[in-house]
Amino acid sequence: MNNATYSSLLELAAGLVILCAFVTLWRRSLSAIVRALSVQGVALGIVALVLGLHRHDAVLITVGGLVIAAKGAVIPTLLRRVLANDSRNRETSPLVNVPASLVGAGALTFLAYGATRSVVALVPTSAGRLIPLGLATLLIGFFSMVIRRKAASQIVGLLLVDNGIALVAFLATAGVPLLVELGASLDVLLVVVVLRVLAVQLSSKFAVLDLDQLQGLHD
Amino acid sequence: MNGFAHLLTSALVALVQLALVAVGGPLLLGVMRKVRSRLEGRVGAPIHQPLLDLRKLFTKQRMRPRESSWLFGVGPLVLVATVVCVSAISPLATTRPPLGQSTDFFAVIFALLLGSVVLALAALDTGTAFAGMGSSRSMTIGALCEPALLVAILAMAIPARTSNLPALVRAGLGHPALIASPSRVLALASFLVVILAESGRLPVDNPSTHLELTMIHEAMVLEYSGPDLGLIILGESMRLAFLLGLLVNLLVPWGVANRPGALFFVIGLAALAAKVLVTGVAIATFEVFTAKMRLFRLPELLAGGFVLALLGAVTAVVAR
Amino acid sequence: MNHVSVLISVLAGLTATVAGGALPIRSRVGVAVLLTWVSCSAALVAAVSVLRSGHAIVMSTSKILPLTGISIVLTRLGAVFVLAIVMVALASTLYWIGYASHGLSTRSASSALPLFVTSMILVPFAGGVATFLVLWELMALTSLVLVLTDQSRREAARSAAQWYAVMTHAGAAAILLALVLLSAHAGGQTFAQIELHARHLSGALRGTIFVLALLGFASKAGAVPLHVWLPKAHAEAPGPASALMSGAMVNLGIYGIILVGNVLLGGGPVWWWLLVSALGVLSALYGALYAATTSDLKRLLAYSTADNMGLVLIALGASGMFAASGSRTTAAIAMVAALLLMFNHSLFKGALFLAAGAVQMVTGTRDLDRLGGLLKRMPVTGVVFLIGALSVAALPPLNGFVGEWLLLQSLLHALPSTNTAVVITVAVAVAALALTGGLTVAAFVKAMGIGFLGRPRSEEASNALEVPATMQLGAGLLALSCLALGLVPMLILPSLELGARSAQHIGVSSPVHGWISLHLFGLRGVLAPSLLAGGLFVALMATVLARRVSHRRSRSWPALAPVEPWGSGRRTQTVRMQYTSTSFAEPLQRVFDDVIRPARDLNVSPAAESHYYVERIAYRTSSDDVIERVIYQPLIVAVRRWGRLARKLQNGSVHRYLAYGLLALVIVLVVLA
């Protein structure tokens, strides 16, 4: 793989990761959001694969393959199962309306860009330059957890955060140790499973999956 | 003598490009309608039907609402004139159009905006409810399109270090890596959203609706008839063809004549026609599967377009 | 020679003031206008000669003002501002001749107007802190008098004047503090002395001075959130006065920022300019949004002034930031863009306010919902407004477009940059510029389309007649200059460049050059406004020809038959069915609902027989300034509360007053000990 192809492939894949993060904010239908998430997982895996191929790092290639399998297929499938239980699977009324949240996410992207200037200076490779995109994905994940009501949206936000961390880790270092990445992915998987159970219980008790209703417990 | 020959070639290039857009615009409309009707299981009108319609319209009487002023008659003229002007000097078939050195992307966009503004004013001049409604809605959409449009231009202009249109197209020819760069792809995606919104295609506006309350663009021109309506249809279709031509030349510049010579120019014309045709068919196919969005959902679409452009600009700066 | 023309300008201005106050009503306005012209022309001569030679005019006398004396210095920067002010002043005084019968021939008005013009012209001549402040105050006071002259709307005018008085004096206090701090630490009160020493002050002090001055001057320029007085005062002032305030006086706010930030303090760190740009972005967006949603013609223009000053501030901030981060060429271009945007704004906003004044004079209303069809009834005023509207919407081939293009180019070429602040500012600025542009287009399509086109919505509008020739001429002069500068920007650009260079010592000699096509120095950006306009014209003629040929070939119809509008087949189209300005703005208002938060009131009264039948629906919506409501009203309430508390301290008892005195004395002694 020559240098130009390597860096443009890397750029495209990293660009796809953040684009999918924006799509999760843009679309209202939860199934479309999950689809975006699975594309994001695949793009993340491709980042790892490309980096691994470029550095001839077998571990990184393996991680890439696993990421594609876990985040591109397994987790989205689980999420779809969660959604299948909820008939009203649209994020109808987020706390912040869609145009405003998109603009807010744009602002967060700039924040990520500004905040990582010094880090980028430390990693002067074509991979290092893309670190802001990873941080931006993380921030957008947090943001979407803040502004969305549905339990499933919260999981999506968490996954975005996780993907953002993974992207930064891939790009900043020679790659995350396999064990750490697997551990993190397992954590997320666990969370998804727990939430799935919770969701099933919530929907059987209250027939909705709206987190705002949890506030009722407080009063 | 050399100067005169140069002038003559420039004028010829301008005229040929202009003729292509003027004939191609209505034909593109015909093709898009044909594709749509075929996909919907109808036979549909022949592809050259819009040209026949135009010929018919030009044989009719010119009328104007009683209370309107001179602006009513000027609106369609300015609309057509702006498209004619920009399509003569833009890099459509060649990267060296007449006056190409000063064909600035911003200038082209603002010149086109002049056409829509004068048309919106002319609609208000009729003094009817529907025309006012169309004018108000089209100005609202225009205002919300603008951020996406200008930031998309910014994202394309940063790597090329200029907003000169021929230079932007040439930059794509010179550095194929630039074409596949995420900044350019994102910017052009946003540009496409803006084109669809500005030229009243689905999902923003349904060009074949017959219900005034859901109309945007059609409502604006309800009072026009005869040759004036013909000019508006011509101008709108030319604008769509022109903008798609720009889009495809920025996206896949191959085929555009990059050096002098009649043969290259002819190849450029053919390539342009083919690329625009493919895009038009793709848009028509997309329209079959799309419903019109609610007017107040449009900000979401356009904010999405804006964010695409913004991401393009960010990646352009990040990737350097 | 130059000294003489300055003297003539001052003396003629003062004589005009006296004449306006003393002469009988018939000759009052004519003489005052003539003398004001003399004053303007003399100032123009001085400004042009300074721009040409580069030698600043320096005069001083210690006779007139005690302690400090008067010092007059006109640099190239000041000369640029004099040019802009003189352009608007000449046109609006000419317009005043026709307008005078409309409440502007009273003694107070006809002496305040010349004095206002003269003091504005002289502000850029000020060479020292004391002179500057005196002229600044004179300008504020005379304009305050002018706001109060419209007798027909007494209540509104009085409230506007109150807001204006408070805001302008708060601003003046900030400016006073900044300039006094500056002269105290720089050891001298003339600007030349300050310029020499201000570089050596500590960073914190320089920052404090800049922020104070920025607050004061930005409030004069109408920057949000210090703008609240502007839509009130500019709307209530009578025609020529509002043109002068919006076209010329706001410029001096910009002048003040350049004077303190670039000249006296010699530029500063990035955060100063970030602050300026942020103010600019806020004003541009806020002003454009309110211009797009209001339905009062003059308030719309006033909000658009806040918007345009926002653009100037963006350019100014960008220029300072680029200079601070070391990119000289873009800094120079952005500075020229700032001055060009300001100059253009003077011309088109002057024209628009004069046209709006004419409409108000003829119809007696500024409410767009009661206007309509004026282009046919007032052809010249209508065309002036059309040119102004297209120009403020930054459309080619008018001058507004050139300024916006220059700003966009400077922003574009600042990227990619290594400075994070620059990158973020550029992206935000371009997005803000674009949204502002779109909203401005919508606002002015509304103003032109609802106000001047369609069918008249009231008796007054349908009976409107064109205004006197002097008024048409005054407004037309400004509209024609918009057109001229749009075709050949080089008529003014060299002067602006000289002014920019004298403000910013960064050694880029001519950042923009070329008569037919504008080239940017060292950058790839070319614009040929006259060729573009020519192309548009040729295309227009070709289209007309094509239509005529293709039309004639078919049959010989009568030219353009006026018929009843079709309106989707309704038999009768009443005037009330037309779109109004409120309905035109409704989609935008709904999109930006969260920002504007308009108060809506819907009353449905059902018929007596059944509540399914509706007898009457009353819908009321009002979108008053949200910043006024959220920031200023609580502030006013708080001040009132303090006022009441203070009243308790003062109950008229002599013993209590004596006790206060004793207490004060004791405290002073304790502190001293």
CA distance B94 to B255: 9
CA C652, chain centre distance (Å): 47
- Per-residue confidence (pLDDT) for residue A85, from 0 to 100: 64
Residue type for position C184: A
Residues of chain B with C-beta less than 8 angstroms from the C-beta of C399: none
Helix axes B165-174, B226-251, angle to 10 degrees: 40
Q: Token digits for C108?
A: 């107070």
Percentage of chain B beyond pLDDT 70 is 99
Does the model's ipTM exceed the 0.90 cut? yes
**Do the Cβ atoms of A98 and B300 come within 8 Å?**
yes
Question: Which own/partner pairs from A207-213 qualify as long-range (CB within 8 Å, at least 24 positions apart)?
Answer: A208/A86, A208/A88, A209/A86, A209/A150, A209/A151, A209/A152, A210/A149, A210/A150, A210/A151, A211/A149, A211/A150, A211/A151, A211/A154, A212/A149
- Structure-derived torsion over alpha carbons of residues B230, B234, B237, B240, reported in degrees to the nearest 10: -130
Q: Which of C475, C308, C495, C287 is nearest to C378 (CA)?
A: C475
Q: What is the model's pTM?
A: 0.90
Domains: count for chain B? 1
Least confidently predicted of B21-30, B291-300, C654-663: C654-663
- Across the interface, of B110, B149, B164, the residue whose CB is closest to C526 is B164
The pLDDT of A104-124, averaged and rounded, is 81
- pLDDT tens digit sequence for B70-117: 999 899 999 999 999 999 999 988 888 888 888 899 999 999 999 999
Q: Report the Cα–Cα distance between both ends of chain B, in Å, rounded.
A: 45
Task: Report how far residue C499's alpha carbon sits from residue C502's, in angstroms, rounded to the nearest whole number.
Answer: 5
Predicted pLDDT of residue C66? 67
Phi and psi angles of residue A200, each rounded to the nearest 5 degrees, phi first = -60, -45
Is A11 in Cβ contact with B319 (below 8 Å)? yes
Question: Cβ B58–C550 below 8 Å, yes or no?
Answer: yes
Pick among A98, A119, A143 to test the B interface (most B CBs inside 10 A): A98
Chain A neighbors of B185, CB-CB under 8 A: 15
Residue ranges of A 74-113 with Cβ closer than 8 A to chain C? 97, 99-100, 110, 113
d(CA B264, CA B93): 9
Closest CA–CA distance from residue A100 to any residue of chain C (Å) = 10
Q: Using an 8 Å CB-CB cutoff, list chain C residues near A114.
A: 420-421, 423-424
Q: Using CB atoms, which residue from A97, A100, A117 is nearest to C420?
A: A117
With CB atoms and an 8 Å threshold, state whether B318 touches A12. no
Question: Which residues of chain C neighbour A101 with C-beta distances below 8 Å?
Answer: none
Average pLDDT taken over every residue of chain A: 77
Token pair belonging to B19: 């003729």
pLDDT at residue number A60: 80
For the record, the structure tokens of C416 come out as 């990619």
Across chain B, what does the average pLDDT equal? 88
How do C512-513 and C518-520 pair as beta strands?
A: antiparallel
Two structure tokens written together for A177: 């140790």
CB-based contact B121:C441 (threshold 8 Å) = no
The DSSP symbol for C259 reads I
Chain B residues within an 8 Å CB radius of A8 = 177, 180-181
**DSSP 8-state symbol, C620:** E
Do B304 and A26 make contact, defined as CB atoms within 8 angstroms? Answer: yes
Half-sphere exposure of A1 (CA within 13 A, CB side): 15
Beta bridge partners of C602: C619
Structural domain harbouring B200: 2-319
Tell me the pLDDT tens digit for each residue of A143-156: 888 887 776 777 78
pLDDT 10s digits, A75-87 = 888 778 777 766 5
Q: How many CB pairs under 8 A join A and C?
A: 14
| C590–chain B nearest CA distance, Å | 8
Length of chain A: 219
Interface of C with B in 572-591 (CB under 8 A): 573, 575, 577-579, 583-588, 590-591
| CB contact at 8 A, B85 and B132 | no
Residue whose entry in the numeric block shows the structure tokens 């282009």: C375
Closest CA to B246 of B177, B187, B205: B187
Of the CA atoms within 13 Å of residue C95, those in its CB half-sphere come to 33
Report the residue from B182, B304, B318 with minimal CB separation from A113: B318
Which tens digits make up the pLDDT trace of B118-145?
999 999 998 888 888 999 999 999 999 9
Chains within contact range of chain C (3+ C-beta pairs < 8 Å): A, B
Q: Which of C291, C531, C260 is nearest to C393 (CA)?
A: C291
> C272 CA to chain B: closest CA distance, Å?
24
Does C424 contact A117 at a Cβ distance shorter than 8 Å? no
**Inter-chain touch A113–C420, beta carbons under 8 Å:** yes
pLDDT at A94 over 80: no
> DSSP 3-state assignment of C153?
helix
pLDDT at C37: 94
Residues 6+ apart with CB under 8 A from C570: C577
Among residues C86, C89, C91, C84, the alpha carbon closest in space to that of C340 is found at: C84
| B161-200 tens-digit pLDDT | 888 999 988 888 877 777 777 788 888 889 999 998 888 8
Task: Name the one residue in this structure whose structure tokens are 């922003």.
Answer: C411
Going across the sheet that includes C518-520, the strands are C512-513, C518-520, C526-527
Instruction: Chunk chain C into consecutive blocks of 10 residues (it has 673) and report each block's average pLDDT, rounded to whole numbers.
Output: 86 89 86 93 93 85 72 91 95 91 82 93 91 92 88 80 91 93 85 86 91 94 90 89 93 94 88 94 94 92 95 94 87 93 95 94 90 91 95 92 92 80 86 92 94 90 88 94 92 89 78 79 82 89 85 61 78 80 88 80 80 80 81 88 81 74 84 75
CA atoms of B143 and B299, how far apart (whole Å): 10
Does residue A51 have a pLDDT over 90? Answer: no
| Collapsed DSSP state (helix, strand, coil) of residue C25 | helix
Is residue A160 pLDDT above 70, yes or no? yes
Determine whether C127 is exposed, middle or buried from the number of CB atoms within 10 Å of its CB (0-12, 13-18, 19+): buried
